[in-house]
Amino acid sequence: MKFIKFVPVVIALTCTANAYAGFFSSSDDFKCGREDTVKTLSDYFLSEASGLLQSDYLTKSKYSYDQPVADYQNKLNSLVVGVVNVSTSGKDSYGLNCSATIAVKVPQEALDVVSSDPNYLHFITGSYGKLNNGSVVWSGVSYRAKLADNGKDVIFSQFNRTDLSDALFNISVLSVNKSQIINAQAKDNLDSAKAEYKNSDSNLNSVWRELPDSSRNALKKEQVAWVNGKVAKCGKLSDAESNNVDIKHRIEIYQCQIRMTNDRIAFLTGDN
């Protein structure tokens, strides 16, 4: 797939007449590793990511947004796209044959989202990037770079890694939406744990009712002691149902109750 984008090179005025970054005295001066070209490549990826952000903010096709678009754009603008190990391996009608390693430092907020749900790792690495020491690194990125006729725009095309801008877009949104994502995930986990507990508790009640009267009478005191011990070890169900209790602790209460209830079922049915 070819991605072609005209990106203006940043122009820096100095004291001499020919010292404009992005202006070259001849086509021979234009190289993949020139500082101007490298900076423009970084801007290219951020510009593409910005387009993805602006479009999705309007359509809500990928994410839901609870903050102003400027917050997401500012987070995107704060990302530093590093371009290193740049090399030139030839030239053809599409421009210079370039290769580089691209890296971006991932904000801690986005890393926290990944830690809470590893399924989000692919969102920040794309298909080709690798997470290394808090940065996503794309090695062996090949592309074409060509100086436009006006001598100040660069045309980039034929990238072999087409996931970089999408990853930058994802990183910015995950960073801003950290609380939204983690809280929604915790709510889902809580609902799941609560449903599982109700199911195990229902199973225990069924097992208890099916016991012979003699067995229930013999186990009655032990059953009461077990219930009290479960509360002492796991916490009260009233706390698990209270919105005033930390959601993580509520989940832990349900999970502990589930384990002990299932163990009790196994004991009463002789499956332990």
259: domain CATH number? 1.20.1270
200 and 82 belong to one structural domain: no
- Which one of 129, 145, 176 terminates a domain? 176
Give the chain's domain count. Answer: 2
Nearest partner of 164 among 20, 49, 57, 5, judged by Cα: 49
Q: Which residues of 161-179 are buried (b: 16+ CB within 10 A; e: fewer)?
A: bebbbbbbbbbbbbbbbbe
Q: What is the pLDDT along the chain (272 residues), one digit of tens a residue?
A: 333 343 444 333 222 222 223 444 455 578 899 888 999 999 999 999 999 999 999 999 999 999 999 999 999 999 999 999 999 998 888 889 999 999 999 999 999 999 999 999 999 999 999 999 999 999 999 999 998 888 788 999 999 988 999 999 999 999 999 999 999 999 999 999 999 999 999 999 999 999 999 999 999 999 999 999 999 999 999 999 999 999 999 999 999 999 999 999 999 998 76
What would the two tokens of residue 100 be? 């580089």
CA distance 222 to 237: 20
CA distance 231 to 218: 22
167 and 186 belong to one structural domain: no
